[in-house]
Structure 1
Amino acid sequence: MRRKLSITLLSVGHGCVDVYQGAVASLVPFFVAERAYSYAAVSGIVLAASLLSSVAQPVFGVLTDRRAMPWLLPVSTLLAGVGIALSGVSDSYAVTLAVVAVSGIGVAAYHPESARVARSAGDGSHSAMGWFSLGGNLGFALAPVAVAAVVALGGLGLTPLLVLPAVVGAALCLPVLRLLETRLSDAAAAPVTAKDDRASFVRLSLAVVCRSIAFIGLSTFVSLYATERMDGSEAVGTAALFLLYLGGAVGSVLGGALADRWDRVRVSRWSYLLTAGSIAGLVLVPGPALYLFVILTSAGLYIPFSLQVTLGQDYLPSRVGTASGITLGLTVSIGGLISPVIGILADRTSLQTALAPLVLMPLLAWLLFHTLPEPAVPPTGSKAPKGEDADAEHSPVRPGPR
């Protein structure tokens, strides 16, 4: 019961944080409509959310390898929310970039420690990590709905209302940290006997980069693309973005279930191959069928998501926080660095032409996964002393110095 409650609360809290990752792309059409930003300008806003996050997330991972920082969960959740809440307050492009970047730092601080805590709470289960990822995907999915509802009430000036999920998420973190207090603070760190497989971790990271470019590129522009291809309103675009995030929720749970039956590498490899075809359909097939390909693409990109996090942790058993920071942060954020290139190409040609190269990304990830081994026995990374809670014996969480 404790495990289920902890994973449930962590999953909901994860969703409250990832609302703010999804909110950046969700705000793009409204920045274009109310402030007449170009494709390149709105790509810069996505870049602002990603750039500091891409640097900060591995740094937070290194710090959490040295000392457990569970307090980062509520603090970073609030920081992520405040940044997005302020994004619509000022008409200044520079101010908008700055506050969105602040939100990105909050997101960066949250993920390495939360991944460590979630894996501890779930005793290393692939399904538990899948449920934890599901919360984030649902947060992504709800972002366009929440943003559209708030902006519909009174334009971008009402974005301060978007701080509410952060308040809820921060509050939900507290009982989880109390529930796991003994495990997080008193478990004695055991020596890690498994060796780091850095070569495999680098190849895994490159695959995550390819996935990131495809997903962030689509999440930035799919709303505008759907509106353009179907001659629709902003609601048409919001629906496409919602489905892109909702399909990811399905993919996260499915990935964990499939990995419990087959190995993570095989599941991820086949998922990427099938995703290449669905992205081609999304870009090339007009009309309502686009929605079907959006869902298939999203599910295909998210089936490997939580699996890649645990693979990274298993390839670097002595640096679990660093592995989490890189697989959840640096490589994921690189997609945001590429989005301005897509925006510039779209301004000079067409949005369809700019999105077409994204088909290559899952194919490259598929090739990279062909070179990866499946770790035989996922290392736990820590061990509880005798007499401690039996669950703590499987915890990968290392305590901070005393």
Structure 2
Amino acid sequence: MAVYRKRDNRRLPDDRTVTQGRTRSVGLLAVGHAGVDIYQGAVPAVVPFLVLERQYGYVAVSGIVLAATLLSSVVQPVFGALTDRVRMPWLIPVSMVTAGLGVALCGVGDSYVLTWLAVALSGLGVAAYHPEAARLARAASGGNHLAMSWFSLGGNIGFALAPIVVTPILAAGGLPASPWLIIPALLGGLVTTAVLRSLIAGSAATGGAKADRGRDDWPVFIRLTGIVIARSIVYIGLSAFVALWVQQRVGGGETAGAAALFVLFAGGAAGTVLGGKLATVWGRIRALRLSYAASIPAVAGVVYAPGVSVYVFVALAAILLYIPFSLHVTLGQDYLPNRVGTASGVTLGLAVSVGGVATPVLGAIAEATSLQTALTTLLVFPVIAWLLGRTLHEPAALEVAAAR
């Protein structure tokens, strides 16, 4: 039975009951986050089937991938600005279904234009989801760093699960089976709708009061955005080429490359949760600075370590690059307390997309010189992130309402 305290002549739940409710809400939001981010990883998983069944070339495939990544990333800050002006919790389940619908339709018919539009629709759904979901996750967690790391972990898990979900379905039924891929979106939408009702009810119970949010600090937020961009370039660059690189270093063919990708994704998931724990102990800025400083030798190890020891450095690099991942989001929200949606859209969207845009440049360097030379250029970016991190300061503690 819940224990209640009397406050201002009202019966309010005690701290333990509130904590349990927040944990449940953030957990359900993390499940929903996994449900939508499956579709970020689904597009690359669909690409081999587009090549096999429709004979798409590199240019055509690049256009499909860009339809998802660029549109999603550019539009996310726009949705962030909208959610700062108007509360749109309904947008979360609607955007999840939209993301799933786009991928579900990408295998229907043979038209390249319709396939491109379907993938763009999925990217639009992903873009609409993240700013509002990150804002509600912040409200549900009460600003707790560890809770936000669990929310971020949900997205990482969804991305990693995409090949496991997509490949068996399309391998069994080909591209015409793509409509089955909408199922994760429908399930995630149902889960998210349940938690939205709880959050709206909690807001009504507390009268929907708003806290004094303080002043937006745009100069610091811009430096934080630079950090996110630098991190994105090095991590996405590694994810694009680490499989090929490990095959060259240790042999073993595709199995060795797949193992390297698994280590990279698993390390990222571990680093996300670890980041929340370290922020609780050390503070966000110290955790961010130390992780980027340590990532410099870790990335160097990926490039230069001999033999199977490369796997160790892949794991270390992934963990260290993901420790600040959820901290970027909460720091951005605290630097722009009056524009939480905008901050979420930038830290989860526009800034992150640069890694994908920079990857073809790495490929060009690799073709002109060598893959090792291309990967060596990535070493500059954790240095940049560490230097910019030294210019940040911990925002003042802000009171977060149950829902804004």
TM-score by length of 1: 0.86
1 or 2 for the larger relative contact order (CA 8 Å, sep ≥6)?
A: 1
Aligned to 1:247: 267
CA contact (8 A) 2:217 2:336 kept: yes
Task: Give the one of 125, 131, 143 matched to 1:106.
Answer: 125
Aligned to 2:135: 116
Deviations 1:355-391 (A, max 9, x none): 33222211111110000011132343xxxxxxxxxxx
Deviation at 1:348, TM superposition (A): 4.3
Aligned to 2:349: 329
Deviation at 1:210, TM superposition (A): 0.8
- State the secondary structure of the residue aligned to 1:180: helix
Aligned to 1:194: 214
* Pair 1:375-2:395 in alignment: yes
CA contact (8 A) 1:141 1:244 kept: no
Deviation at 1:190, TM superposition (A): 3.1
Summarize the alignment of residues 165-244 of structure 1 with structure 2, pairs less than 5 Å apart: 165-184=184-203, 187-190=207-210, 192-227=212-247, 229-244=249-264
CA contact (8 A) 1:145 1:242 kept: no
CA contact (8 A) 1:314 1:375 kept: yes
Inter-partner Cα distance in structure 2 for 1:92 and 1:223:
32
* Pair 1:7-2:26 in alignment: yes
Inter-partner Cα distance in structure 2 for 1:337 and 1:360:
17
Aligned to 1:387: none
Summarize the alignment of residues 279-298 of structure 1 with structure 2, pairs less than 5 Å apart: 279-285=299-305, 287-298=307-318
* Pair 1:309-2:309 in alignment: no
Pick closer, same or farther for the CA change 1:164–1:239 going to 2, 3 Å: farther
CA contact (8 A) 1:247 1:296 kept: yes
Deviations 1:154-208 (A, max 9, x none): 4555443332211211111111011112245674353635211111100001100
Bigger shift: 87-96 or 247-256?
87-96
Pick closer, same or farther for the CA change 1:272–1:46 going to 2, 3 Å: farther
Task: Give the one of 132, 152, 157 matched to 1:138.
Answer: 157
Aligned to 1:385: none
Bigger shift: 276-285 or 127-136?
276-285
* Pair 1:23-2:42 in alignment: yes
Aligned to 2:360: 340
Task: Give the one of 287, 291, 301 matched to 1:267.
Answer: 287
Pick closer, same or farther for the CA change 1:269–1:231 going to 2, 3 Å: same
Deviation at 1:51, TM superposition (A): 1.2
Deviations 1:111-138 (A, max 9, x none): 1111111111111111110111111111
Task: Give the one of 40, 47, 54 matched to 2:66.
Answer: 47
Letter in 2 for 1:98: L
Deviation at 1:99, TM superposition (A): 2.6
Deviation at 1:295, TM superposition (A): 2.1
Bigger shift: 328-337 or 313-322?
328-337
Letter in 2 for 1:17: V
Inter-partner Cα distance in structure 1 for 2:49 and 2:259:
15
Question: What CA RMSD, in Å, does the superposition of the two structures yield over aligned residues?
Answer: 2.6
Inter-partner Cα distance in structure 2 for 1:40 and 1:295:
32
Aligned to 2:384: 364
Inter-partner Cα distance in structure 2 for 1:355 and 1:374:
32
**Larger radius of gyration, structure 1 or 2?**
2
Inter-partner Cα distance in structure 2 for 1:100 and 1:345:
29
Bigger shift: 261-270 or 282-291?
282-291
Aligned to 1:278: 298
CA contact (8 A) 2:213 2:398 kept: no
TM-score by length of 2: 0.86
Q: Which runs of 5+ in 2 are unaligned?
A: 1-19
Inter-partner Cα distance in structure 1 for 2:62 and 2:251:
22
Task: Count matched residues.
Answer: 384
- State the secondary structure of the residue aligned to 1:371: coil
CA contact (8 A) 2:152 2:272 kept: yes
Deviation at 1:17, TM superposition (A): 1.2
Pick closer, same or farther for the CA change 1:315–1:295 going to 2, 3 Å: same
CA contact (8 A) 2:211 2:399 kept: no
Pick closer, same or farther for the CA change 1:162–1:291 going to 2, 3 Å: farther
Percentage identity across paired residues of the two chains: 56
Deviation at 1:340, TM superposition (A): 2.8
Bigger shift: 264-273 or 177-186?
177-186
Inter-partner Cα distance in structure 2 for 1:36 and 1:284:
37
Inter-partner Cα distance in structure 2 for 1:27 and 1:229:
28
- State the secondary structure of the residue aligned to 1:115: helix
Pick closer, same or farther for the CA change 1:37–1:281 going to 2, 3 Å: farther
Aligned to 2:13: none
Letter in 2 for 1:81: G
Letter in 1 for 2:320: G
Inter-partner Cα distance in structure 2 for 1:228 and 1:38:
25
Letter in 1 for 2:133: S
Q: Which runs of 5+ in 1 are unaligned?
A: 381-393
CA contact (8 A) 1:197 1:315 kept: yes
CA contact (8 A) 1:29 1:234 kept: no
Pick closer, same or farther for the CA change 1:139–1:261 going to 2, 3 Å: same
